[in-house]
């Protein structure tokens, strides 16, 4: 008995003193291994009479249990220490830079076109498109600008030397309005479309580029009037700029394809050198800024587009996309839009996840 007790104490001391898993394993073999003294002692129990066994067993069993427990505990402690040591060796300098993933961006013109599509979809407008290389019938004649019309000269048109099969002149569309004609010819009435896209004028200075973007709007139905036009533009601008204090001023103007024709101004103020849309243009510190042209579609245009002006009427408008993008997002140089400078694109561009939605507000804030 005392033998086992002292042996156990010695073994537990050795276990406690073990400094490596190897030493611990050696101690395990010496005790609980096949030929370890605990195992051997357990085997002796088999040869004993029941009485002897009853007397001897508890001491042996208890030795086995306490040694096994000590081995496990020591093993866990040693492993944990080894792991800690290993982890300490594996330490890296996390102030070092991680590999950077390039960040892409969506061009402001595309972003604003998506915003337009989103807002106007809610008002029931589809997005229509048409060719940029147009014939003069769609670009001018059908819009009530015949060959001798002085307004043609105001358009600074880019021409191609080519002619269509019917001998019509071919040009780069000077506005998105030919899409009106194509849409009415294709779909008839009633119709509600916007037509965003590239347009071209032979004009280049600080505020004009020979290529720019316009959006055309067209509503044809039976009883559409100027009041609907005003509401539509107001509603659009309120949604686009996400502010309720948008005030529009309509001024009489002239476009061959509308009658009556109105120029649309919006009230703005200047804050920190930038134009901020909102407020009444005649209010102190405010002024009016032209946004675009519009009007009731000229009866002749309806006829050209195959609609009976006695039955159908409606409005059309045209806005500069680059311009409203600049107003909303603060760019000041139109030419930079078309330069492809990654610094500008990163600065003014949008995250691909800024998909305009009505629920989140169509605009993406800086």
Partner 1 sequence: MKFSLTWLKDYLETTASVAEICDALNAIGLEVEGVEDPAEKLAGFRIAHVLTAARHPDADKLQVLTVDAGDGQPLQVVCGAPNARAGMKGVLGLPGAVVPANGMVLRKSAIRGVESNGMMCSTRELELGDHHDGIIELPDDAPVGTSFADYNGSNPVIEVAVTPNRPDCMGVYGIARDLAAKGLGTLKPIAMPAFSANGACPVEIRTDDPEGCPAFYGRVVTGVRNGPSPDWLQARLKSAGQRPISLLVDLTNYLMLGFGRPAHVYDLAKLSGAVVARRAKDGEEVLALNEKTYTLDAEMMVIADDHGVHDIAGIMGGEHSGVLETTTDVLLEIAYFDPARIGATGRKLGLSSDARTRFERGVDPEFLDQGLDLLTGLIVDLAGGTPSEVVRAGSPPSAARVIAFDPGLTTRLGGVDVPEAEQKRILESLGFTVGADWQVTCPLRRHDIEGPADLVEEVVRIHGLDKVASVALPRVEGVARPTATPQQKLERGLRRAAAASGLNEAVTWSFLPTWAAEHFAAEGQALWVLANPISEDMKAMRPSLLPGLLMAAKRNADRGAPASRLFEIGRRYFRGGNGLSDEKPTLGIVLAGEKTPRGWQSGKAKPFDAYDAKALALLLLEAAGAPVANLMVMGEAGSQFHPGQSATLRLGPKVVLARFGVVHPATLKAFDADGPIAAVELFLDAIPAKKGAAFARPGFTPPALQAVTRDFAFLVPATVAAGDLVRAVQGADKAFITGVRVFDVFAGQGVPEGHKSIAVEVTLQPGEASFKDAELKAIAEKVVAAAAKLGGELRG
Q: Is 109 in the site for partner 1 (CB under 8 A)?
A: yes
- Contacts (Cβ under 8 Å, ≥6 apart) of 80: none
Q: Is 158 in the site for partner 1 (CB under 8 A)?
A: yes
- In the complex with partner 1, which residue's Cβ is closer, 72 or 203? 203
| Shortest spacing between CB 146 and partner 1, in angstroms | 9
Angle (nearest 5°) at CA 215 between 302 and 185:
30
Q: 10 Å Cβ neighbour count for 78? A: 17
Binders in 24-63 for partner 1, by CB under 8 A: none
Binders in 317-356 for partner 1, by CB under 8 A: 337-343, 345-346, 349-353, 355
Q: Is 202 in the site for partner 1 (CB under 8 A)?
A: yes
User: How far is it, in rounded angstroms, from Cα 45 to Cα 56?
Assistant: 7
Q: Quickly tell me which residue has 């675009």 as its tokens.
A: 292
Q: Is 161 in the site for partner 1 (CB under 8 A)?
A: yes
Q: Quickly tell me which residue has 């040694």 as its tokens.
A: 67
Binding range to partner 1, per CB under 8 A, among 37-45, 53-61, 155-163, 325-333: 155-163
- In the complex with partner 1, which residue's Cβ is closer, 87 or 353? 353
Angle (nearest 5°) at CA 265 between 190 and 181:
30
Q: Which of 21, 126, 287, 331 binds partner 1 (CB under 8 A)?
A: 126
User: How far is it, in rounded angstroms, from Cα 7 to Cα 59?
Assistant: 11
| Shortest spacing between CB 265 and partner 1, in angstroms | 9
Angle (nearest 5°) at CA 226 between 221 and 228:
60
Binding range to partner 1, per CB under 8 A, among 14-22, 42-50, 175-183, 223-231: 223-231
- In the complex with partner 1, which residue's Cβ is closer, 8 or 139? 139
Q: Is 97 in the site for partner 1 (CB under 8 A)?
A: yes
Q: Quickly tell me which residue has 């010496």 as its tokens.
A: 30
| Shortest spacing between CB 196 and partner 1, in angstroms | 10
Q: 10 Å Cβ neighbour count for 211? A: 15
- In the complex with partner 1, which residue's Cβ is closer, 27 or 263? 263
Tell me if the bond preceding 168 is cis, omega within 30° of 0.
Answer: no
Q: Is 188 in the site for partner 1 (CB under 8 A)?
A: no
Whether residue 108 contacts residue 350, with contact meaning beta carbons closer than 8 Å, is answered with: yes
Q: Is 115 in the site for partner 1 (CB under 8 A)?
A: no
Binders in 232-271 for partner 1, by CB under 8 A: 232, 234-235, 249-254, 256, 259-263
| Shortest spacing between CB 257 and partner 1, in angstroms | 12
Binding range to partner 1, per CB under 8 A, among 51-59, 66-74, 268-276, 293-301: 293-301
Binders in 294-313 for partner 1, by CB under 8 A: 296, 298-300, 313
Q: Which of 101, 206, 272, 365 binds partner 1 (CB under 8 A)?
A: 101
- DSSP states along 128-163: ----SEEEHHHHTGGGT--TT-HHHHTT---EEEEE
User: How far is it, in rounded angstroms, from Cα 114 to Cα 170?
Assistant: 30
| Shortest spacing between CB 284 and partner 1, in angstroms | 15
- Contacts (Cβ under 8 Å, ≥6 apart) of 75: 21, 24
Q: Is 187 in the site for partner 1 (CB under 8 A)?
A: no
User: How far is it, in rounded angstroms, from Cα 299 to Cα 293?
Assistant: 17
| Shortest spacing between CB 168 and partner 1, in angstroms | 8
């Amino acid at each position: 008995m005392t033998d086992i007790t002292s042996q156990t104490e010695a073994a537990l001391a050795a276990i406690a003193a073990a400094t490596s898993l190897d030493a611990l394993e050696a101690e395990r073999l010496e005790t609980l291994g096949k030929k370890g003294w605990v195992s051997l002692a357990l085997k002796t129990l088999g040869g004993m009479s029941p009485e002897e066994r009853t007397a001897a067993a508890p001491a042996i069993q208890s030795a086995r249990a306490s040694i096994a427990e000590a081995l496990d505990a020591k093993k866990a402690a040693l492993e944990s220490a080894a792991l800690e040591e290993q982890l300490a060796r594996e330490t890296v300098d996390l102030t070092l830079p991680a590999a950077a993933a390039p960040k892409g961006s969506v061009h402001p013109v595309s972003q604003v076109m998506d915003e337009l599509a989103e807002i106007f979809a809610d008002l029931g407008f589809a997005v229509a498109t048409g060719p940029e290389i147009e014939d003069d019938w769609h670009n001018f004649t059908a819009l009530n600008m015949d060959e001798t019309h002085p307004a043609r000269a105001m358009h600074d048109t880019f021409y191609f030397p080519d002619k269509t099969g019917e001998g019509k002149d071919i040009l780069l569309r000077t506005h998105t309005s030919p899409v009106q004609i194509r849409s009415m010819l294709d779909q008839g009435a009633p119709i509600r479309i916007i037509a965003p896209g590239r347009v071209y004028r032979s004009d280049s200075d600080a505020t004009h580029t020979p290529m720019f973007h316009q959006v055309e709007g067209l509503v044809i139905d039976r009883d559409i009037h100027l009041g609907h036009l005003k509401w539509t533009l107001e509603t659009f601008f309120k949604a686009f700029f996400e502010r309720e204090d948008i005030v529009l001023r309509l001024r009489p103007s002239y476009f061959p394809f509308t009658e009556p024709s109105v120029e649309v101004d919006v009230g703005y103020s200047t804050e920190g050198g930038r134009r901020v849309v909102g407020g009444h243009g005649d209010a102190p510190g405010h002024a009016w800024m032209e946004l675009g042209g519009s009007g009731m579609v000229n009866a002749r245009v309806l006829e050209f587009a195959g609609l009976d002006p006695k039955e159908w009427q409606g409005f059309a408008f045209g806005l500069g996309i680059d311009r409203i993008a600049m107003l909303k997002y603060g760019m000041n140089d139109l030419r930079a839009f078309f330069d492809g400078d990654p610094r500008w694109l990163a600065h003014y561009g949008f995250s691909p996840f800024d998909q305009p939605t009505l629920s989140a507000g169509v605009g993406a804030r800086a």
